[in-house]
Structure 1
């Protein structure tokens, strides 16, 4: 058995570092969807071509790593997935809070 929460949190903190990019892309897509720039007249299709592969590859990597770790840890499923979600978003939250 892998340790309780430090392994799960550490792995997801490491996965959260490159995860800043897809999280930011999704935020930017949502923000520009409801308040578009007046000079952006190319539509949303180009954004979806860029965002879909980046987010899709990241989600695939995240899910694969976490499903392998979830089977080996002694945490309950609910606790593990909550901890992994929080650990993944911590680098993004740190960047938002520490940005000058």
Structure 2
């Protein structure tokens, strides 16, 4: 029987690496949300050079997120089967770990 730390080392490392990859789609999604839906609600200002509409954003975001999720979901499904933990707990943990590089980057940008 392995220790809990050793059992969770592989999912943490894999999700951190995937989280570094996820910074790019998350950043583009954040830019899209800031320039279109949130700007329409009056919560943010629109970038004055972004005058092409939503189509270029969709052409960028949809394949990018499809590629990322096409990698992240199967890898984590395979890893979850090897762990004796509930589905909800594993996916919550994996989601938090994969979002941690983006959260760290946003924190560093805000602080510096």
Q: Aligned-residue CA RMSD in angstroms?
A: 1.8
Local SS of the residue matching 1:40: coil
Paired residue for 2:50?
A: 40
Aligned length: 100
What's the CA shift for 1:31? 0.7
TM-score (norm 2): 0.80
Deviations 1:51-93 (A, max 9, x none): 1111110011000111111111122211111110000001001
The offset of 1:18, in angstroms, is 0.6
CA–CA distance in 1 between the matches of 2:48 and 2:90?
44
Which structure has more relative contact order (CA 8 Å, sep 6+)? It is 1
Mapping of 1:1-100 within 5 angstroms?
Answer: 3-33=6-36, 34-35=38-39, 36-99=46-109, 100=112
Q: Which has the larger radius of gyration?
A: 2
**TM-score, structure 1 normalization:** 0.88
Could you tell me how far apart the structure 1 residues matched to 2:8 and 2:85 are?
A: 7
Query: Unpaired runs of 5+ in structure 1?
Result: none
Unaligned runs of 5+ in 2: 40-45
Report the CA distance between 1:14 and its aligned residue. 1.1
